[in-house]
Amino acid sequence: MDSTAGFWLDAWDNTYGGFYTDVNRTGTPTGTTKWTISQSRNAYGMTRAYMITGDTLYINLARETLQFMYDHCWDAANGGWYQRVNRNGSPQSPTANKNAFDQHYALLGIAAFYEATRDSLAWEWLQRGYADLEAHLWDDRPDYFGYFDVGTYNWTASTNKSFNATVDAMTTHLLYLYLMTEDAQYLDRLREIADNMLNRLIASMPNQSIGFAEGYNSNWSVTGSNTMTIMGHVLKTGWCLARMDQIDPNPDYLQGAKTTVDHVLDNGYDHEYGGPYKDYNRVTGDMLMWGIPDTAKAWWQMEQAITAGLQLYSLTGEQQYLQVADESLDFFMKYFVDHEYGEVYENRARDGSFITQWGTTKGGSGKAAYHSTETGYYTYVYGNLLVHKQAATLFYEFDDADSLREFHMTPLAIRDTALVIAAVTRDGQPYADFDAQQRILRLAAGVGGEFAVTYAPAAPLAIAETGNTLPDGFSLAQNYPNPFNPVTHIDYQLSNFSDV
């Protein structure tokens, strides 16, 4: 995480603020355009790097990056985010259409930063961006509900539906909004998005040679001209449905997650070297080679295999999902990570070798700090809490305030009773004002600082099969999970049904 986030420091514009979008292998900017999603994705990367390392350089830079976005990337006259601005923040093509992909991803960094800081300005902008999405891109027709794919610059018309308009709403902000607030309005919208995944995207799969349809008209009819299907998108859909099953258990969600991931394993996965392949023609089933002689793999699609695999392993215990996560992570670390200059390459050939035709560029309109840092972040969080069943610590920076505050602290999609806060420190000292089981951190008026929150699995107590043998005695050595919290709840389950 540290070397990945640190790579982007040279891409920061010390004169005007914001990150340059186009960056070469060494981290040197190669252009002066600043895409809004680059700012948001880099703010996300800086925030997650801080949450893992505790290095305040990263959270401070995330704050400055978002301030550049607030000052320059928002269309104050019409609402919504400009796609890109020039070096000093003037919008390029201010009357260009606004697409859901950009509007969703503009909220990514804001949502992550708010999670780490509960900053009131970030919340204001998160709500402003979300309200604009709901007002201009949400189609509330009962038979065709979902996010439109594109709107005019002044929102006089919005049309079409797509994978990105649908699934990226969850990955960028909706899930975080729900986890941070537990507000039913966000869960309701998540359920509608999950319905679109199941009954639009996955429902199109039987009519394809591989994958699912990714482009639709406004009434959810498949767009015939868009024949590309992307294995990373199929995997991401599985990851999202697995996370939905974690927070809102539903057998349809779990089956949908298994269907998509199993489909990639059967049709678009490299079982020799590990990791998913990239892109296919969904009609013919042919892999899209893009003018190169060997098959290719993309950095962000490796992430989807890792995260989907870890979540499904947590839900099912099936080894194939842990295997796909392990194989993809191993390939990613061996061949995508640049151990000389930091960060990761965008593409690798099937065996991990360099693709000469595509170069070594590391920053562009489609690549910033997001997917690489998210891979590291969720490998740490999922690996510890979901797979190894051990504690994980994350850092937060909360300013003081004039009144009592209570923060919901749920850093991942997980069964509500499966996670507890094990310990908290404030500026390095033990801090006791929290509810371990409800995962609520309380800050009295005037209380702020850097908080290190340690999360732990709330596994049920296992009872050994001992027949009629009774123990000689037992004792509770300390108040688990936190000696500073005066209440202990011990969950247990019987191996067989019986009267108690």
pLDDT (0 to 100) of residue 467:
56
* Element spanning 53, H or E: helix 36-53
440, 475: one domain: yes
Helices within 222-283 (DSSP H only)? 231-247, 251-267
pLDDT given for residue 376 in this prediction? 98
How many residues are present in the chain? Answer: 500
Whether 115 and 173 have beta carbons less than 8 Å apart is answered as no
- pTM exceeds 0.85 for this model: yes
The span from the CA of 36 to the CA of 85, in Å, is 7
The pLDDT, as a whole number, for residue 484 is 36
Any domain includes 228: yes
Same domain, 192 and 86: yes
The CA R_g of the chain, rounded to the nearest whole Å, is 23
Q: Pick the last residue of a domain from 368, 387, 406.
A: 387
Render 169-207 in DSSP notation, one character per residue.
Answer: HIIIIIHHHHHHH--HHHHHHHHHHHHHIIIIIGGGGGG
Pairing of strands 146-147, 150-151: unpaired
User: Within this chain, do residues 278 and 179 fall inside the same structural domain, yes or no?
Assistant: yes
Residue 490 pLDDT more than 70?
Answer: no
DSSP state of 417: G
Contacts for 356 with CB less than 8 Å, ≥ 6 apart: none
Crossing angle between the packed helical segments 370-382 and 299-316, to the nearest 10 degrees: 20
Alpha helix positions (H), 73-156: 100-106, 108-117, 120-136
- Distance from C-alpha of 366 to C-alpha of 162, rounded to nearest angstrom: 17
Shortest CA distance to 345 belongs to which of 23, 2, 116, 19? 23
**Residue 356 within a domain:** yes
Do the domain assignments include residue 315? yes
Do 232 and 307 belong to one domain? yes
Q: Are residues 449 and 484 in the same domain?
A: yes
Stretch 453-476: mean pLDDT: 65
Query: Same domain, yes or no, for 402 and 318?
Result: no
472 band by pLDDT with thresholds 50, 70 and 90: low
Nearest to 10 by CA among 301, 379, 341: 341
| Position 392 in a domain | no
Residues 372 and 401 in one domain: no
What is the CB-side half-sphere exposure of residue 421 using CA atoms within 13 A? 27
Q: Phi/psi of residue 374, each to 5°?
A: -65, -35
By C-alpha distance, which of 299, 293, 257, 310 is closest to 276? 299
The amino acid sitting at 471 is P
d(CA 169, CA 175): 8
Q: Do 363 and 415 fall into the same domain?
A: no
Across the beta sheet with 392-398, the strand order is: 392-398, 449-457, 419-426, 429-430
Same domain? 376 vs 401: no
Amino acid at position 215, single letter: G
Give the model confidence (pLDDT) of 158-211 as tens digits.
999 999 999 999 999 999 999 999 999 999 999 999 999 999 999 999 999 999
For residues 138 and 191, is the Cβ–Cβ distance under 8 A?
A: no
Q: Is residue 157 part of a domain?
A: yes
- pLDDT tier, 293 (very low <50, low <70, confident <90, very high otherwise): confident
* CB of 163 closer than 8 Å to CB of 201: yes
> Residue 487 and residue 498: Cα distance in Å, rounded?
28
Cβ within 8 Å of residue 173, ≥6 positions away: 104, 107, 108, 110, 111, 126, 129, 130
In a domain, 468, yes or no: yes
Amino acid at 243: R
User: In the structure, what pLDDT confidence band is assigned to residue 462 with cuts at 50, 70 and 90?
Assistant: low
Q: Do 362 and 315 reside in the same domain of the chain?
A: yes
Average pLDDT, the chain: 94
Q: Are residues 376 and 443 in the same domain?
A: no
What is the helix (H) or strand (E) element at residue 335, kind and residue range? none
Does pLDDT of 487 surpass 90? Answer: no
pLDDT of 405 > 80? The answer is yes
Higher pLDDT, 291 or 499: 291
> What was the pLDDT predicted at 479?
43
Is 499 inside any structural domain? yes
Q: CA 326 to CA 313: how far, in whole Å?
A: 11
Which CATH number does the domain housing residue 107 bear? 1.50.10.10
Q: Which of 327, 352, 387 is the last residue of a domain?
A: 387
The β-bridge partners of 279 are 230
Residue 481 has pLDDT above 50, yes or no: no
pLDDT value at position 480? 38
| Total domains, the chain | 2
The token pair at 190 is 């998540």
Same domain, 412 and 381: no
List the end-to-end C-alpha distance of the chain, in Å, as a whole number: 49
Among 193-197, 362-366, 458-462, whose mean pLDDT is lowest? 458-462
What local confidence, expressed as pLDDT, does residue 485 receive? 41
Give yes or no for a contact between 363 and 28, defined as CB atoms under 8 angstroms apart. Answer: no
Within a domain: residue 335? yes
SS3 256: helix
Phi, psi torsion values for 263, nearest 5 degrees = -60, -45
Give me the domain span that covers residue 30: 2-387
Q: Looking at per-residue confidence, does 3 or 117 come out higher?
A: 117
Rounded (10°) angle between helices 120-136 and 56-72: 50
Q: What is the pLDDT of residues 220-241, one digit of tens each?
A: 999 999 999 999 999 999 999 9
Of 346, 366, 387, the one marking the end of a domain is 387
Rounded CA separation 57/222 (Å): 46
User: With pLDDT > 70 as the criterion, what percentage of the chain qualifies?
Assistant: 92
Q: Is 441 exposed, middle or buried (0-12, 13-18, 19+ CB in 10 A)?
A: buried
